[in-house]
Amino acid sequence: MPSPTRAGLVVSPSLTIPRAELTERFSRSSGPGGQGVNTTDSRVELSWDVERSAVLSRVQRERIVARTGHRLVDGVLTVTASEHREQRRNRDAATHRLAALVADAVAPPGPARRATRRTRGSQERRLKAKKQRSATKRMRSSRPSRDE
């Protein structure tokens, strides 16, 4: 699992996002929480500017933009966490969420699917099943209905 360090957020062995590139914003969390819900800023927004990041290679940047483009706003990737009552736990959750998202986006694509043909047996079984189903429906329509 990706882990935060003092130097930055370790996404993979080859990629660490420096703390200086991450921006945290805190706000009041919605929902139940007792007396402290209206006084503590426990919700965390963690943002990272993908477009201006110095640690990404051209290929990594293109992969992230292609795979998370729907989540980017002006090149900035933002993750929120508000499921915990404590700000510290929400910070940890947002950090892990961002690291996992970036790790998935940076990962190389899997192998291409090899096109295969259906076997003769599978085609014959499919046609046989269709003929059986057709015969069943034909038998139903020739019988008088129960209402008569």
Cα distances (angstroms) measured from residue 52 to each of 13, 61, 94, 107: 21, 10, 21, 20
Q: What's this model's pTM, rounded to 2 decimal places?
A: 0.68
Percent of the chain with pLDDT over 90: 51
pLDDT digits (tens, 9 = 90+) for 81-100: 988 888 899 999 999 999 99
CA–CA separation, 130 and 136 (whole Å) = 10
Residue 47 has pLDDT above 70, yes or no: yes
Residue 77: DSSP 8-state? E
The arrangement of strands across the sheet holding 3-4 comes to 3-4, 8-12, 15-18
Over residues 128-135, mean pLDDT: 96
| Rounded percentage of the chain residues whose pLDDT exceeds 70 | 86
Kind of pairing, strands 43-49 and 76-81? antiparallel
Instruction: Identify which has the larger pLDDT, 9 or 3.
Output: 9
Q: Summarize the confidence of residues 98-117 as an average pLDDT.
A: 92
- In a 3-state reduction of DSSP, which class is residue 22? strand
CB of 82 closer than 8 Å to CB of 29: yes
| pLDDT tens digits for range 72-81 | 899 899 999 9
Rg, Å, the chain Cα set: 27
Query: 1 pLDDT band (50/70/90 cuts)?
Result: very low
36-54 mean pLDDT: 83
Tokens 């008088």 sit on residue: 144
The CATH class of 3-106 is alpha beta
Higher-confidence position of 5 and 1: 5
User: Per the structure block, which two tokens stand in for 44?
Assistant: 């965390």
| pLDDT at site 142 | 66
Output 84 or 117, whichever has higher pLDDT: 117
In the chain, where are the structural domains located? 3-106
More confident residue, 39 or 1: 39
Q: Amino acid letter at 91?
A: R
- Cα 12 from Cα 107, distance rounded (Å): 9
Residue-level pLDDT at 38: 64
